[in-house]
Amino acid sequence: MKSVGVGRLSEREERPWGRFLVVFFGYSLLIYVIGAVFVFRLPWMFTRVDLMMAVCVEVAGRFPLWLSILWCFLWGYVSDVFQGRLWGLHAAAYLMVVYFHRLWSAKMDVWSLWYRVLLVGVGTTLQGVAAAMIVVGGFEMTGFLITTVGLALFAMMLSPFVMTPIPWILGEKNR
Amino acid sequence: MPDWLRRVRLVAVVVVMGGAMLYVLSLNFRPPAQMDMLQRTVVETLGPLLHVSRKAAQSVEKWVLGYASLRHVQEENELLKKQRAFLESELVRYQEAFLENQRLRRLLDFRDSLQVETVAAEVVVQNAAGWSRTIIVNKGLRDGVQTDMPVVGDEGVVGYVLDVSERYARVLLLTDRDSAVDALVQRNRVRGILGGSDTDTCELRYVRSNQDVRPGDLVVTSGKDGIFPEGLRLGVVKQVTKDPSALFQQIVVVPTVQLSVLQEVLILKSLPNFPSQWLEGTAKE
């Protein structure tokens, strides 16, 4: 079965499972720790972005589908555990990103950085809107949504830095 | 892969995903209690790593803040240094202003005591170390200054106006060789002519050897020369030398005014009151 979303990797005869594991555990853990330790301590709300969203976009584009879903569950769950509330929010947002990637990749240049950055923005916005709906709801959402837009923009700004090492780890020649 | 196996796999994936999602979502509705095994596993596994990372981050943050603080202190130090330099210069300026104020006050008091119309002037150029002992002051004809007008300081006589321009006047100091002021010793009214010797001191000339003049005696103007009013301080006798063979004694007088550090003076606007026979003689010439 050829997966649509894993274009380049699917063209290879052998998948680099070892490298997948490095990204799946090692790099993801590194980004998670950076996010948890550094980014979430930033003073402004709109700067506390979920760096894992950028990893998720890369994973969605480069991993086999089932591995992408597994990644979403695992790291979404880990994020939820350390957050302690809004259970399922991270995993759901990551899954949505994977879904959107599968949906759009047939029509869009999935290897374009702009596309991937846009996907990070969409994922972050979805996550923020969902959180806003659960936490405040109704008309009080305005402020929350403004923050979400800020978060999405900031996440889009940071995402290239998070995403760039992944093709390098996976050993892709044309990154 | 057989078709049925593919379907089974798909169903299995959906079931597993659905189950996982349900489990995660169900956590939203659980009352606060101990973490379940899965959560504990995640927390216990990643907790130490996050803790260490956090400590490291705090150390880095502390270092960065320390560095930033140090830079701030450095900048503050530079600023304070600049402020200190500025304040020191201000202090010097204020001290100067204070001293000037003191001098001017004394001059003002002195002017009031003179009961003569005066013009205050500042010394523009001091030529005390040159061939002649003169100064230039910033008042001239515009201010009513004329030649031969007496120039005084709060401590005594400075000299008299030698030349005048529109805005400036040259003053011949007491210490100039060409200067001559009719003077007398205040203590016993012994009279003489005080003239300069091109040094920082003057000489009281034409005092007979049998006259009693002592070091420390105050020499004042006699008022007989037609230029200086009577009783202005000229100087203090520093040294008296009597030569039995000479007709006059040598008397060294130190001017009461410190001419080398003069800054402000008063020009007395009293016209010379020369004896009429002098003027007649001048007219005849």
* DSSP notation for chain A: ---STTHHHHHSSS--HHHHHIIIIIIHHHHHHHHHHTGGGSSSGGG---THHHHHHHHHHHS-HHHHHHHHHHHHHHHHHHH-SSTTHHHHHHHHHHHHHHHHTTTS-TT-HHHHHHHHHHHHHHHHHHHHHHHT-GGGHHHHHHHHHHHHHHHHHHHHHHHTHHHHHTT-S--
Q: Report the gap between the CA of A22 and the closest CA in chain B (Å).
A: 17
B24 and A91 in contact by Cβ < 8 A? Answer: yes
Residue A41 to residue B55: CA distance in whole angstroms? 13
Same domain, yes or no, for B100 and B52?
Answer: yes
What phi-psi label fits residue B243: left (phi over 0), alpha (psi between -120 and 50 degrees) or beta?
Answer: beta
* Structural contact between residues B255 and B202, judged by C-beta atoms closer than 8 angstroms: yes
Mean pLDDT over B131-144 rounds to: 82
Among B93, B115, B137, where does a domain finish? B115
| Structure-block tokens of residue B113 | 């005591």
The pLDDT tens digits for B86-95 are 898 888 888 8
Question: Of A52, A46, A49, which Cα lies nearest the Cα of A150?
Answer: A46
Q: Of the given ranges (A40-44, B42-46, B148-152, B195-199), which has the lowest mean pLDDT?
A: A40-44
- A-chain CB neighbours of B49 within 8 Å are 29, 33
* Structural contact between residues A67 and A24, judged by C-beta atoms closer than 8 angstroms: yes
Chain B positions with Cβ closer than 8 Å to A: 13, 17, 20-21, 24-28, 35, 38-39, 42-43, 46, 49-50, 53-54, 56-57
* Structural contact between residues B266 and B120, judged by C-beta atoms closer than 8 angstroms: yes
Question: Of A63, A60, A50, which Cα lies nearest the Cα of A22?
Answer: A63
- Closest CB from A38, A87, A88 relative to B57: A38
Instruction: Report the pLDDT value the prediction gives residue B283, as an integer from 0 to 100.
Output: 44
Q: Residue B137 maps to which CATH number?
A: 2.40.10.350
Mean pLDDT over B232-240 rounds to: 92
Residue B6 lies in a domain: no
Same domain, yes or no, for B127 and B257?
Answer: yes
Q: φ, ψ for residue A155 (rounded to 5)?
A: -60, -40
Residue B233 to residue B50: CA distance in whole angstroms? 92
Residue A11 to residue B93: CA distance in whole angstroms? 85
Same domain, yes or no, for B148 and B56?
Answer: no
- Please, which residues bridge with residue B251 across strands? B204, B240
Same domain, yes or no, for B139 and B267?
Answer: yes
- Mention the CATH class of domain A16-167: mainly alpha
DSSP conformation class of B88: H
| Structure-block tokens of residue B237 | 């006798």
- Please, which residues bridge with residue B122 across strands? B264
Could you tell me where the beta strands, DSSP code E, fall in B142-232? 150-153, 156-164, 169-173, 180-185, 191-196, 202-205, 218-221
Question: Of A82, A101, A95, A78, which Cα lies nearest the Cα of B18?
Answer: A95
Same domain, yes or no, for B124 and B259?
Answer: yes
Among B100, B115, B130, where does a domain finish? B115
**Where do the domains of chain A lie?**
16-167
- B-chain CB neighbours of A69 within 8 Å are 13, 17
Its sign, for the CA torsion B48, B50, B56, B58, is negative
Instruction: Report the pLDDT value the prediction gives residue A173, as an integer from 0 to 100.
Output: 63
Question: Of A66, A60, A64, A53, which Cα lies nearest the Cα of A99?
Answer: A60
Q: Decide if the complex's ipTM is over 0.95.
A: no
Which chain B residue is nearest to residue A83, measuring alpha carbons?
A: B43
Within 10 angstroms of residue A157's Cβ, the number of other Cβ atoms is: 14
- For the cut 60, the answer to whether the pLDDT of residue A7 exceeds it is no
A86 and B39 in contact by Cβ < 8 A? Answer: no
| Structure-block tokens of residue B86 | 């500025």
Same domain, yes or no, for B51 and B165?
Answer: no
Range of the domain at B185: 118-271
Instruction: Report the pLDDT value the prediction gives residue B104, as an integer from 0 to 100.
Output: 81
Interface test with A, best of B28, B29, B37 (most A CBs within 10 A): B28
Same domain, yes or no, for B256 and B245?
Answer: yes
End-to-end CA distance of chain A: 24
Residue B230 lies in a domain: yes
- For the cut 70, the answer to whether the pLDDT of residue B271 exceeds it is no
Higher pLDDT, B255 or B127: B255
The mean predicted confidence, pLDDT, of chain A is 81
The pLDDT tens digits for B5-62 are 888 888 888 888 888 888 888 887 777 666 788 887 887 788 788 878 877 877 887 8
Instruction: Report the pLDDT value the prediction gives residue A4, as an integer from 0 to 100.
Output: 42
Instruction: Report the pLDDT value the prediction gives residue B285, as an integer from 0 to 100.
Output: 38
Same domain, yes or no, for B168 and B127?
Answer: yes
Same domain, yes or no, for B130 and B262?
Answer: yes
Among B96, B115, B134, where does a domain finish? B115
Same domain, yes or no, for B99 and B133?
Answer: no
B50 and A78 in contact by Cβ < 8 A? Answer: no
The pLDDT tens digits for A40-52 are 767 777 888 889 9
Instruction: Report the pLDDT value the prediction gives residue B244, as an integer from 0 to 100.
Output: 82
Number of domains in chain B: 2
Same domain, yes or no, for B254 and B130?
Answer: yes
Residue B239 to residue B132: CA distance in whole angstroms? 24
The pLDDT tens digits for A117-167 are 999 999 999 888 887 777 666 556 677 778 888 888 888 988 999 988 888
